[in-house]
Structure 1
């Protein structure tokens, strides 16, 4: 049985703040409705930062979803950092999604680049190039390059990414999160066989999104 916390550590300060405020309202005998609302918000905060275990598929050439959410774009474009032609696969996370992000391949981080930007609705395609974002370029153990990008959204104002160049990761390992709704773009080789279709749902660390 896993000894990991059921919530992401990045959420603990927020959870503690909500609990303290709700507890103070109860001790001070605030209006029952106010108390109820505050405890509901505290519970919602715990639920938002949930970090469930996932069973990651294994096999050569698999690309695993880095985020929970809905597929909002599959299109040919130019990959960031590498500048190579690629197929972009975009996953939109709303406030009800699990927001912990997971490494999509078994391989090594080649480069990481942060870009400040706007906070447009992450469901919009232009958010990929105009919003605040963290770009990661990685290479599989077989030498295939892919890039993936954490994109901030309208409400999400904090990207967390623990990756650095040289890190070796297994597919499905946690590498960060984006708070309160956002998007993750994955840039795949044009030869990759993409499995989900537009509108499909993905689960981080579990859903196979492509085969290289």
Structure 2
């Protein structure tokens, strides 16, 4: 069989590099991207203008819903950050009732996501989804402390194989109007895998098991599925 021309190999290699450099889009964002693209196309047909603005709006929307590949670190017992963002709060608090965890103070790490951050959420530990509870609420700015109790949110309890229970709460923000969660109670999940999405500005709270202390600081940047928030005993 004849060898493939060198020029073709170079093109295939370049295409592979480009494909690997462009992160995939979360399925929950595809309808929104399609709607923005359709609106931009309609505006172009009706006015004959706005091509550049329409392409920019579509591109920025696609960028918001990116879901880049992440590789969890080889740290036994690591509790990984469930989202990209900035550690906004670290406090000892009683978990909210919807988590159905013991009513005793535990460490809560709150990660705030700006509109420029990756907005998919990731599983922080290997384990099983013990429960899920959606709670309707208001849409205060997600960086406020009372957003944990007042805002629309989706609460999940994960149970590890070692018997630890963690609470992870997706919290809608000032601009967010939709929380997506793709797992169900009873599902076996792996650390680092994508499980949810919050559209346009939000926050994710992680409630650590009793006695487990955070290994991050307020103001620190986190990478979802890679940055260890804490290590289980």
TM category, shorter? over 0.9
Gaps of 5+ in 1: none
CA distance in 1, matches of 2:106, 2:33: 40
Matched, 1:11 2:29: yes
Deviation at residue 152 of structure 1 after TM alignment = 0.6
After TM superposition, the structure 1 = structure 2 runs for residues 152-171 of structure 1, keeping only pairs within 5 Å, are 152-171=172-191
Please give the secondary structure, in 1, of the residue aligned with 2:137: coil
Q: Is the partner of 2:154 in helix, strand or coil?
A: strand
- Over the aligned positions, Cα root-mean-square deviation in angstroms equals 1.9
Residue in 2 that maps onto 1:136:
156
Q: After superposition, what is the alpha-carbon deviation per residue over 1:164-207, rounded to whole angstroms, capped at 9, x for unaligned?
A: 22111110111111000100000012422322100001011111
Distance apart, 1:35 and its partner CA: 2.5
More helix as a share of residues: 2
Matches of 2:213 and 2:107, distance apart in 1: 10
SS at match of 1:194: coil
User: TM-score when scaled to structure 1?
Assistant: 0.93
Listed one character per residue, the Cα deviations across residues 92-147 of structure 1 (whole Å, up to 9, x for unaligned) are 00110100100111111111111111100000000000001111111111111111
Cα distance in 2 for partners of 1:90, 1:73 equals 5
Q: 1:182 aligns with which of 199, 202, 227?
A: 202
Q: Structure 2: where are the runs of 5+ without partners?
A: 1-15
Bigger Rg, which one: 2
Q: Does 1:102 align with 2:130?
A: no
Number of the residue aligned with 1:76: 92
Task: Report SS of the residue matched to 1:57.
Answer: coil
Higher strand fraction (1 or 2): 1
2:63 aligns with one of 47, 51, 70: 47
2:74 & 2:126 partners in 1: Cα distance? Answer: 9
TM-score, normalised to structure 2, is 0.85
Deviation of residue 85 (structure 1)? 2.4
Residue 38 (str. 1) matches residue 38 (str. 2): no
Q: Where does structure 1 differ by over 4 angstroms across 4 or more consecutive aligned residues?
A: 1-5
